[in-house]
Structure 1
Amino acid sequence: MDQIYANLTELSYELQQRTEAEVRFDQVSRTLYATDASNYQIMPIGVVIPRTTDDVIATVEICARHKVPVLPRGGGSSLAGQTVGEAIVIDMSKYLRQILSVDPEAREVRVQPGITFGQLNRHLKDRGLMVGPDPASGERAAIGGCIGNNATGAHSILYGMFADHVLSMQTILSDGSVVELNEGHSAGRAATLWEDVCRIVDANQDDIRAYWPRHWRRASGYNLNYMLPDAPGRHPGNPSGRPHQPNLAQLVCGSEGTLAVITEATLNLMPRPKMTALGIIQFDEILAALEATNPILELNPSAVELMDRLLVELTRQQPQYARMLTFVEGTPEAILAVEFYGESEAELTAKLDRLEQHLAKHKIGGRFSRAMSAQAQADVWGVRKVGLGLFMSIRGDYKPIPVIEDFAVPVETLPRYMTDILALAKSYDTRLAIYGHASAGCLHLRPLINVKTAEGVQIMKEIGEAGAEIVFQCGGVTSGEHSDGLQRSYFNEKLFGPKLYQAMRQIKTVFDPDNLLNPGKVVEAPDPIQNLRYGANYSTIPLETYFDWSDDGGLDRAIEMCNGAGVCRKLDVGTMCPSYMATQDEQDTTRARANVFRALLSGALPLNAMTDQAVYDVFELCIGCKACKSECPSSVDMARIKTEYKAQYYARTGYPLRSRLIGNVPRLAKLAAATPGGLKLANFLLGLPPTKALMRRIGLTEERQFPRFATETFSSWFQQRPQPLNRAKQVLLFNDTWTEYNYPEIGQAAVKVLEAAGYQVNLETQRECCGRPLLTCGMVEPVKPMAQRNVDLLLPYVEKGWPIIGLEPSCILSFRDEYPALMDAARRDAARRDAGCPDSAHPVTNAKCPEILGGESFSCCGLFDTQCRVKDGCAICFVVYFELRLSASRKDRNARSWRCTSGWSG
């Protein structure tokens, strides 16, 4: 490797000259690709983001000449370290995401590797088709990664593995040659590969038939058994419906980029089910749920999923997901979600009736419920699929570690397997996080271990080895869907035996004689306790912070809550992360910001790189919407982390004029309003060419029109109007800067609504700006006295039981998210009470809007941006930009668009 690094400049130059790809060899870009969703961290040599297939071909060929390894990567959501390594990472996900062709009659689709599973299936929906195997990470998992992993998901009992549906693929071999792999005996390099592979398989066919793992739910090793039509270890139901024929594409499926780089793939498609329904069964014991699985399978469900008590407890702690727990009563030790397909609601009802009768007959389970509607089913699947992220939301250094998380056994041995695994966990005095695919015997079990200690690292290895022995005794495999990577390749020689493992080595040599394709995976793997992201030698640099991060255990722990799962790479669903949705660049993900800040604190990047432009650029496009706080299962508050970063950055560089201007908009507005004719004059000045020239000079685009000021402030209107007196119900309206100076009609509408609901509306005229504009610009210190003053002013109203109503979500959320970390302990609790947070003891401030406003006496509607902070679970962020309907005589109900002002409020 020393020679490689000596020639990096030459390699980078050649890649830039011969390709149209984005070529990134800087330290920050490499850091972004040093981790995935696994335990591991390895700094890559460089990153290439190809725009075309020709870019991929040229990259592989150039790297082959320089003897530099390459590593193809999709969404980087792999859980076993498949997509980290000392290589040139080729990121397929930004540009190579096209659907090349769809043939509904043949039930086939041809795609590039960068498109996500979720995007592809949404495209196919109108045709009544879909890709069958459905990984839970499908919204961010690239199809290339699904093929590389031999992925599957909850419906594997119907659809098998990805290898069962890969028909052909265009690949690039380690020397840069392009080869189409399929069932045929084509000429050239493909024919040579076919002959060499068949020779190896023929020489080992007796051992394949005799010793190949019998459990079909396997993502370990190379698929030698797929080259023999009658070999064991395949799904018994032939899920694709096509004849079993030797196919090099299916051999490469599951190889994790170690045999070839995939640039196109043809996949088999399945009919989309017309209707589905779920039966939900609660259990008092995990083992009882596993013992029930085999009898339930007699009814031919489409899926049987397991969730444990810990998952339910963690879900209840996350407001975004807690509302989905409509299907759970109490706190059961285990839940089985049993799904059926059907042609009609009547058919599904009959199937659930039969399930309920079957359970009663066999005395299985406790409470039984049904999820028939689309929303009810979405709630169940939402909780199940977010399981990993919720488990990783556990605070502290003890985390659910994926050392045995993908082991799979035949369903009939599940109770025995779990009994032994529970005993193993007890022997190490650790708790297990348990969820997964009971229908296929693939449970994701994660022991809570602190791998930041030498003892924890050793425990991880010992549990892995002991767990593997239990799996082998139960006739199982060490990977059921998440593949081998750095975590489990270590087990492959034991799983397959020395002869078959040697055959896999030979396969690797045939495809990749110089070991340049993602080396160290599947075969010839390092010890699984090497290259850990956190290990006994991991430490962080003490940093004097602007926020108090003690609730998180420190700034480093807050950042480490990002586990790399990549939920922030969603594109067509949800809100997180809007900057990535716009650019589709890894650099603009929430994950990237956490990775870079963690690298600064851990020394992977020098701390003085804090002010490097490349580091600043990673944070720059974060718009502070807090979608991550609500949609990230680990509740990573990147908006606050970004504010901390900016404060650290500007403490070293000084604040630019643009930040000073934007941060002090409330102060400038207040000054203008205090001057006779000041607001009109401000509007006049804002329209002048010199003002626009100044805006350009300080970095504000001409396309952005500075908000105009209203000619009359909201508080002036409020004081001059006739007010109802002596009403029993009192409410305090927190009028933000936006409402006060720019759009007073928002406040006016709020007053009308509240008074119509019977409230006496009050203003606190001495309150300060919430400080949000300053925080957005990283100017934290000036906000501290403002926050303290606001908390002191508002606390008496809270103690009197008055609701505090905010019109601007980002403004009020400052009380909940930022204020507690800016003041002493006494005021911290007061700030939370002011904000009406979930842990507040005050019932009124936690009331939902209908409860405050009288619910049945009115109806209202409104529109808000998907990036709006009102989605962040704050009950009292009451955005009033709608019309009230007080009686039947008033027929019209006008909804007006309200634009989130995020960083501009105050």
Structure 2
Amino acid sequence: MSERLDRAGLEARLRQTVGGTVRFDVGALAVYSCDSSNYRQVPVGVVIPHTVDAGVAAVAVCRAFGVPVLSRGGGTSLAGQTTNNAIVIDWTKHCHRLASVDVEAATCVVEPGITLDDLNTAQAGVGLMFGPRPSTHQSCTIGGMVGNNSCGATAQAYGKTVDNVRRLEVLTYDGERMWVGPTSDAEYQAIAAGGGRRADIYSALRELRDRYLGDIRTGYPSIPRRVSGYNLDSLLPEAGFNLAKALVGSEGTLVTVLHAELALENVPVHKTMVVLGYSDIVTAGRAVPRILPHRPWQFEGMDDVLIHLEQAETLASTAIHRLPAGQAWLMVQFAGDSPDEARTAARHLIDDVCGDDPPTGPGAPGDPMPTVEYIDNPAREAELIEVREAGLGATAHPSAKHATWEGWEDSAVAPDDLGDYLRDLRALLDEFGFDDSETALYGHFGQGCVHTRIPFELRTADGIAHYRRFVERAADLVVGYGGSLSGEHGDGQSRGELLTKMFGRRLVRAFGELKAIFDPGNMMNPGKVVDPNPLDSHLRLGTEFAPLPLSTHFAYPKDDGQFAKAAMRCVGVGKCRQSGADPSDEVMCPSYMVTRDEDHSPRGRSRLLFEMVRGEVIPGGWRSAEVRDALDLCLACKGCKVDCPVNVDVATYKAEFLSHHYAGRLRPAAHYSMGWLPLWSRLANAAPGLPRVVNALTRAPGLAGVIKRIGGIDQRRDVPRFAPQPFTTWWRARNRPSGQTYASRGPVVLWPDTFSNYFHTSIARSAVAVLEDAGFEVLVPPMPVCCGLTWISTGQLKTARKVLLRTIRALRNVIRAGIPMVGLEPSCLAVFRADASELVPGNDDIRRLSKQSFTLAELLRSRAADWVPPHIAATALVQTHRHEHAVLDPSAEVDLLKRVGVDAERLPSGCCGLAGNFGFERGHYEVSMAAGERVLLPRVRSAPADTVVLADGFSCRTQIDQGGTGRYAVHLAELLATALTRSTSPQYEGLGD
């Protein structure tokens, strides 16, 4: 690309020509600068086309200006394929249609931006699916899978993407748009007779194939997981001269994929699993050939290092504890059209590997006899699949160890050679000084594919040289086994330079000639696969990396107290980029589900923060407007804190950023109104009758609009009404019948949060009734207390810290006495469980309080297990609060509802969309409501009138109330209290108000 590129002219032409979004701002450049690899290249600009034709127009403009093109899918590539100094075309926001499905032929046609999970969800009704399933199935796109020749765990049954592609519609850089696929001699002759660019391409391809025929037939390893190199073997006569398959795995270096016609598979109906435990990973690898004749559907392996790392990160912990004894495991899953078919296959395997008397302990070293667990429970099987899919999260940032990196992530050998290869790979890791406890070995063992991440030092010249020496030696090792440099993630920049070792110079020369046929000017994703950038160049870190020294308010204990390290935590797998088309039990990420913008995903925000601390693309540090704008639509739901595989916590990063960004500056009006809500609530209740006056003012015609405008509140929102009397006032005036005691279980502090104390006070009164009925003596702090939540969420962290410390001092005696505290508002309780210890690190009273604070359901489960709750014959829809999902334990409420007889359905709705102050703030209303309309509000509207709507969070109840549902949601405490036989006693009067 010419250094004299007319960027302004290019941007203007793209805006004039392309139907879609064109971005040359530094925020977009930062967001798209990295993928999941070690590499970083700042793009020229970003195009987000509205249609496939608009994408074609974008390529035409790039051609006119001589600028390279990078066609990007989910951006999850691990070898550097999806980062380049080019115009990035992001298909994922708009070009994600399922164009057609032919059920009888079991095929479909899709646009490149559709994700795998969305494709399979769309076809679930007809019982079909696309077979290959990478672990990034939530976010990887079909276009990206075609580009990388993706595989995944189910490739054991369905092969690689190349095995499931029928035809492709592609576009060359010079503008030739055509459908390609298998080509008979008659079709070839017709194409040649038609002349033009297409005929030239086909003629040159056949000539290339014939000239290298012997090399192609002998130069490709005969293993199931060869992903490296171009698929010249698909051009062989015996392969049907299949140009579509030849282009699969070309990583956007040859053509742009516009549509894909795919072969589909029947969704497996019945599955069983056998888990085999071995003494070590080498023994497990050597057992693979014996298992393969049983034709498993999935066949995964993992070592004890991975399991220990997952335990340290508390990932999939329930399933881990149920693994059979051993130091390495093979998970072998069978599928069948009937339960008996799947079970019989599993039993035959067990009989074969163990005989009639399976051992009960791990075999001795070298002994092939494993321990066994047979599983015929879909939920348990899913848990174990999750153990395997959690591998990247556990190995990327191992607890108390060095960060690890890709670089030798997915090598593959023949399954017969797997055990010996694992032995030699472990020996090579040891030789280079990589600690066994940091380098897990796991992967798709049924096809000989091995995953690992390695603690390379990529910031010093010696460390980078060490990295190069290792991958060169590792390449020699796998080639010596007749294997592939890549068995899943492609070559990109990580392995492009090493292809000569695997294929030899002649075939690599043929790759270059293939590239020249399609892209003679080297404008399609240059520097990858052919004439690749050196594997140790364009590193995301490198010797130039010198992050800004930033002081922080939060402690970042998992990141050594460094904000720069926290900003590097994201590894880019894109789990946060779920579209929400398939509702799941996850919160992450509501703003992305609504906007489908990369900037508004945790990954995109992490990229911006990384570039901010790097200080090149985004200068200005904490004052960056680009970072502020990307964080503005973060709902602070904390879903990423638990749903992200590496626990990126954007809510905390946002609070930190806002604190510094507005230091010494005028803040948005909502920071003063909603951020100081606890104070305004106290003032509004300073005198009897005053709440009614305030309520009248906030709803008075004309005046209400002025108040909202001054407070930065959206005009379409109603300001919540204050209760006539605060809960604490009711508590102080309350009369209990003389002689009545409730102390059989001892005292408990009921936390009077702002929302339960001043707004929905019946919740706190109901909690008193429930706690006393369960035998607790209820204590309420006699002085005003606050957790600081609203100041934290608006980034007023100095104030939040003062408020929090004042509260801790006020509660010091009860904290040190070990008295449990019950919180009714999940957000407030989450502060004590998580935020407080990071905002005030080293405070022992905060640490104590975090251990002895409970939700109502948690307290009743742990401290009153023998309490007989009231029976409630009801059906309920349950909206789980975002912070309950992320920080607390929603299972306690599920258990309690079962105990009382409620038929409860937990909605897979994620965050309600209001999210504290977020949904009230001017400029957030559309996103807030769109998040609510995704699942929650429609389900509430359609619920039968006698269905209870249960929501513990003030935000959730308010969103339901203001979301046009015509329903009022209740808190768990209210539901329980209304069923108590003594709730009609005068002392509990008004619980249902």
TM-score w.r.t. length of structure 1:
0.93
Total equivalences in the alignment: 881
Q: Secondary structure at the match of 2:374?
A: strand
Alignment partners' CA distance in 2, 1:865 and 1:483: 42
* 2:295 pairs with 1:300: yes
* Alpha-carbon spacing, 1:149–1:60, altered in 2? closer, same or farther (3 Å): same
Residue equivalent to 2:214: 206
2:949 match: 896
* Greater alpha carbon shift after TM alignment, 489-498 vs 35-44: 489-498
Residue 524 (structure 1) aligns with: 531
Partner residue of 2:77? 78
Deviates more, 1:597-606 or 1:620-629: 597-606
Instruction: Indicate the residue corresponding to 1:692 in structure 2.
Output: 705
Q: Determine if the alignment matches structure 1 residue 104 to structure 2 residue 120.
A: no
Partner of 2:169: 170
1:44 aligns with 2:57: no
Q: Does 1:830 align with 2:845?
A: yes
Q: Is 1:484–2:497 an aligned residue pair?
A: no
- The one of 745, 769, 778 equivalent to 2:786 is 769
State the one-letter code of the partner of 2:654. K
Indicate the residue corresponding to 2:721 in structure 1: 708
Alignment of 1:470 onto 2:477 = yes
For residue 863 of structure 1, report the CA deviation from its aligned partner.
4.8
Aligned partners of 1:274, 1:877: CA distance in 2, in Å?
Answer: 28
- Would you say the 8 A contact 2:234–2:241 is kept in 1? yes
1:852 aligns with 2:863: yes
Q: Conserved in 1, the CA contact under 8 Å of 2:678 and 2:786?
A: yes
Q: Report which stretch shifted further, 576-585 or 742-751.
A: 742-751
Describe the SS at the equivalent of 1:22: strand
Q: Which runs of structure 2 are paired with 1:88-237 in the superposition (5 Å)?
A: 88-184=87-183, 185=187, 186=191, 187=194, 188-230=196-238
**Whole-angstrom distance in 2 between the partners of 1:359 and 1:129:** 33
Higher mean displacement: 83-92 or 856-865: 856-865
Q: What letter matches 1:733 in structure 2?
A: L
C-alpha distance in structure 2 between counterparts of 1:11 and 1:876, whole Å:
52
> Match for 1:760 among 774, 777, 781?
777
Match of 1:334 among 313, 328, 331: 328
Q: What's the offset of the Cα at 1:311?
A: 2.1
1:730-809 equivalences in 2 (<5 Å): 730-809=747-826
Distance 1:114 1:887, change over 3 A: closer
1:855–1:245 CA distance, 2 compared to 1 (3 A): farther
What letter matches 2:257 in structure 1? Answer: I
Task: Classify the secondary structure of the residue corresponding to 2:455.
Answer: strand
Letter aligned with residue 316 of structure 2: Y
Verify the 8 A CA contact 1:885 1:893 in the aligned structure 2.
no
CA distance in 1, matches of 2:558, 2:839: 12
Q: In the alignment, is the contact (CA less than 8 A) between 2:823 and 2:855 conserved in 1? A: no
Judged with a 3 Å threshold, the aligned counterparts in structure 2 of structure 1 residues 69 and 355 are, in CA distance, closer, same or farther, namely same
- CA displacement at 1:484 relative to structure 2: 0.7
Matched-pair contact (CA < 8 Å) for 2:38–2:80: yes
Q: 1:558 aligns with which of 539, 563, 566?
A: 566
Maintained 8 Å contact 2:834/2:887: no
Secondary structure at the counterpart of residue 411 of structure 2: coil
How far apart in 2 are the matches of 1:179 and 1:883? 59
Q: CA–CA distance in 2 between the matches of 1:880 and 1:697?
A: 42
Counterparts of 1:844 and 1:116, CA distance in 2: 37
User: Is 1:280 equivalent to 2:297 in the alignment?
Assistant: no
- Say whether the 8 Å CA contact 1:869–1:902 is kept in structure 2: no
Name which of structure 1's ranges 17-26 and 873-882 shifts more when overlaid on structure 2: 873-882
Q: Which residue number corresponds to residue 727 of structure 1?
A: 743
- Write the distance in 2 (CA, Å) between the matches of 1:734 and 1:539: 45
- Among 396, 403, 412, the residue aligned to 2:416: 412
Whichever residue aligns with residue 310 of structure 1, its letter is: V
Q: Which residue of 1 aligns with 2:931?
A: none
Aligned to 1:237: none
State the 1:722 CA deviation.
Answer: 4.0
2:328 maps to amino acid: A
The root-mean-square deviation of aligned C-alpha atoms, in Å, is 2.6
After the TM superposition, which of the residue ranges 421-430 and 306-315 deviates more from structure 2? 306-315
Cα–Cα, structure 1 residues 329 and 354, in superposed 2: closer, same or farther, change >3 Å?
Answer: closer
1:500 Cα deviation (Å)? 1.1
C-alpha spacing 1:364/1:55, structure 2 compared with 1 (3 Å) = same
Structure 2 CA distance for partners of 1:319 and 1:550, relative to 1, 3 Å:
closer
Structure 1 position 855, deviation (Å):
5.6
The one of 862, 882, 889 equivalent to 1:868 is: 882
In structure 2, distance between residues paired with 1:849 and 1:392? 38
Secondary structure at 2:651 match in 1: helix
Secondary structure of 1:29's counterpart equals: helix
What pairs up with 1:643-662 in 2 under 5 angstroms? 643-651=655-663, 653-662=665-674
- Gap change, CA 1:558 and 1:862, over 3 Å in 2: farther
- Shift of the alpha carbon at 1:857? 2.2
2:372 paired with 1:368: yes
Partner SS for 1:307: strand
1:169–1:180: 8 Å Cα contact kept in structure 2? yes
The within-5 A match list for 1:812-831 is 812-823=829-840, 825=842, 827=843, 829-831=844-846
Paired residue type of 1:315: E
| 1:567 pairs with 2:566 | no
Greater CA deviation, 388-397 or 753-762? 388-397
Pair 1:394 & 2:398 matched: yes
- The farther-off stretch of 865-874 and 124-133 is 865-874
Q: Please tell me whether the aligned partners of residues 861 and 892 of structure 2 are also in contact (alpha carbons under 8 angstroms).
A: no
> Match of 1:235?
none
Is the partner of 2:397 in helix, strand or coil? coil
| Contact preservation (8 Å) 1:307, 1:435 | yes
Tell me the equivalent position of 2:552. Answer: 545
- What is the CA–CA distance in structure 2 between the aligned matches of 1:279 and 1:856, rounded to whole Å? 40
User: Hey, what's the Cα distance between the residues in 2 that align with 1:147 and 1:364?
Assistant: 38
Q: Give the conservation status (yes or no) of the 8 Å contact 2:673–2:712.
A: no
Pick from 248, 252, 270 the counterpart of residue 253 of structure 1. 248
Q: 1:340 to 1:726 in 2, by over 3 A?
A: closer
- Counterpart of 1:713, as a letter, is P
Partner of 2:968: none
CA deviation digits over 1:255-299, x for unaligned, max 9? 011111011110011122121111112222111111111111121
> Which amino acid in 2 is paired with 1:672?
A
How far apart are residue 550 of structure 1 and its match? 5.0
CA offsets 1:503-560 (integer angstroms, 9 cap, x no match): 1111100101111110111110011110111223312111122223355211111221
Q: 1:883 to 1:116 in 2, by over 3 A?
A: closer
Deviation of the 1:736 alpha carbon: 0.9
The answer on whether the counterparts of 1:47 and 1:90 sit within 8 Å (CA) in structure 2 is: yes
Partner Cα separation in structure 2 for residue 876 and residue 222 of structure 1: 49
- Counterpart CA distance in 1 for 2:854 and 2:473 is 51
Instruction: Please point out which of 581, 593, 598 is paired with 2:593.
Output: 581
Q: Distance in 2 between matches of 1:12 and 1:25?
A: 7
Aligned partners of 2:707 and 2:22: how far apart in 1?
35
Call closer, same or farther: CA 1:744–1:880 in 2, change over 3 Å.
Answer: farther
Deviates more, 1:857-866 or 1:477-486: 857-866
Match of 1:359 in 2: 353
Match of 2:517 among 493, 496, 510: 510
Q: Secondary structure at the match of 1:896?
A: strand
Cα pair distance change 1:168/1:884, threshold 3 Å: closer
Distance 1:885 1:686 in 2: 42
Give the match's secondary structure for 2:515: helix
Deviations 1:826-865 (A, max 9, x none): x2x321221228xxxx999996642233267236786554
Tell me, in whole angstroms, the C-alpha distance in 1 between the residues paired with 2:884 and 2:831.
12
Q: Which amino acid aligns with 2:423?
A: T
Once the two structures are overlaid, the 10-residue window that deviates more, 719-728 or 479-488, is: 719-728
